[in-house]
Amino acid sequence: MKNTIHFETRKSDKVKAHPQWGNYSIWSWMDKFDENLVSIIKEQGERFYHPETKEWEMPIEACQAIVEKLENIIIKMYENGEVYTIEK
Give the pLDDT confidence score for residue 87 in this predicted structure. 94
Give the pLDDT confidence score for residue 43 in this predicted structure. 94
State mean pLDDT over 59-66.
Answer: 92
Using DSSP, state whether 83 is helix, strand or coil.
strand
Q: What region does 35 belong to: left with phi over 0, alpha with psi -120 to 50, or beta?
A: alpha
pLDDT-based confidence at residue 75 (cuts at 50, 70, 90)? very high
Give the pLDDT confidence score for residue 5 in this predicted structure. 96
Q: For 28-74, give the secondary structure using H, E and C.
A: EEECCCCHHHHHHHHCCCCCEEECCCCEEEECCCHHHHHHHHCCCEE
Give the pLDDT confidence score for residue 1 in this predicted structure. 82
Domain enclosing residue 18, as ranges: 3-87
Give, for 6, the enclosing helix (H) or strand (E). Answer: strand 3-11
Give the pLDDT confidence score for residue 18 in this predicted structure. 80
Given a contact cutoff of 8 angstroms between Cβ atoms, the answer to whether 26 and 8 are in contact is yes
pTM of the model: 0.90
- pLDDT for 2-48, tens place per residue? 999 999 999 999 998 887 878 999 999 999 999 999 999 999 989 99
Total tally of structural domains belonging to the chain:
1
